[in-house]
Structure 1
Amino acid sequence: MTQYGRNRLLAGVLCLGGVLALAVVWVVEHGLGIMPCELCLWERWPWRVLIGLGLLGLLSPWQWGRFWLWLCVVPLLASIGLTLCHAGVEWGWWPSPLPSCHAPHVFGHSMAERLASMPKLPSKPCDAPTYLVPGLPVSMTVMGGLYALALLVVVLVGGVGGRRSSRRFMR
């Protein structure tokens, strides 16, 4: 397989990896009815960016394919960083950096004013982990971070290792 074919394959894997991550959280939220917290919503953004960069890697000419693949490292690192932040909040190491993860602010003097200022949907606190696998003490946040780490390894091994192997065959 040529380097261009390898880059396109890797871009497709990353794009599908992002789609799979967002599909899982969609099923958990809408299928299982588990409400995400604000940090969970932030953790979805790197996957959206990864899908876009993967599509650019798939559709771009061969000279630019490698550039888009290396740019995919940025959202994967961002996903791992958000996972570390959220896991620290879940484990009680530090408070959430987002104000919406704390107790809601209710304003007003009368009961009607207070009820009107409450959010329409209750928010899930960021320090309440969601465990999908019974008996496995790994939250959904940590699973997402491990998944991002695995895709990062795929990018690094596929991008760097593939280049070395092609040199080996050309000798």
Structure 2
Amino acid sequence: MRKPTTAHWLAFLLPAALLAGAWGAQLLGGLYPCQLCHWQRWPHYAALVLAGLAFLVPAGRARGALVLLAALAIAASGAIAVAHAGVEYGWWPGFTACTSTIDFTNLDPSQRLDAIMKAPLVRCDHAPWTLAGISLAGFNAIFSIAGAITILALMTRERA
């Protein structure tokens, strides 16, 4: 049984690290996730399971297929993160209930209060934390897409 490749290790460790960061930000930093944040996590969970299963199968097509699927799941998280970052930066409108487009201009005070009370607690169109102008969704997009491309490139090189 051949040892796992660099691509395999990256397909396992990248989503593990990104999920650890997300959970750390939530549990230690008090940055609670919105709906789109949760959507970004699901493909990473899938990638972690797929890459983990790949450790259990002999080297060959089955292992390669699992690592490939993990890379595609990581890329999917990156795509969701691009969509989320675009909502946060105001590039396009949000498409979930966690974005706010309340127009207060024609509302009386009781209607305004009602609109505020019905607004989601954690909004998808507001970045609660940034570093150098890049939100957590932006960082996930960068790391996930770059990681998926790297895994695919390594898979190609390691097969040759």
What's the TM-score, normalizing by structure 1? 0.75
Q: What residue in structure 2 maps to residue 43 of structure 1?
A: 40
Q: Which runs of 5+ in 2 are unaligned?
A: 103-109
Tell me the amino acid that sits aligned with residue 61 of structure 1.
Answer: P
Q: Which residue of 2 aligns with 1:140?
A: 136
Instruction: Point out the structure with the larger helix share.
Output: 1
Superposed, 1:11-160 pairs within 5 Å as: 11-63=8-60, 64-102=62-100, 123-133=121-131, 136-160=132-156
Q: CA RMSD in A?
A: 2.6
Q: 1:33-92: per-residue Cα shift (whole Å, max 9, x none)?
A: 112211111111111011001111111122311111111232122112101211111121
Identical amino acids, percent of aligned pairs: 25
Q: Contact (CA 8 Å) 2:98, 2:122: kept in 1 or not? A: no
Structure number, greater radius of gyration: 1
TM-score of the pair, normalised by structure 2: 0.80
Distance 1:83 1:24, change over 3 A: same
Rounded to whole Å, the distance in 2 between the matches of 1:24 and 1:127 is: 20
Q: Looking at both structures, which has the greater relative contact order when contacts are Cα pairs under 8 Å and sequence separation is at least 6? A: 2
Unaligned runs of 5+ in 1: 105-110, 165-171
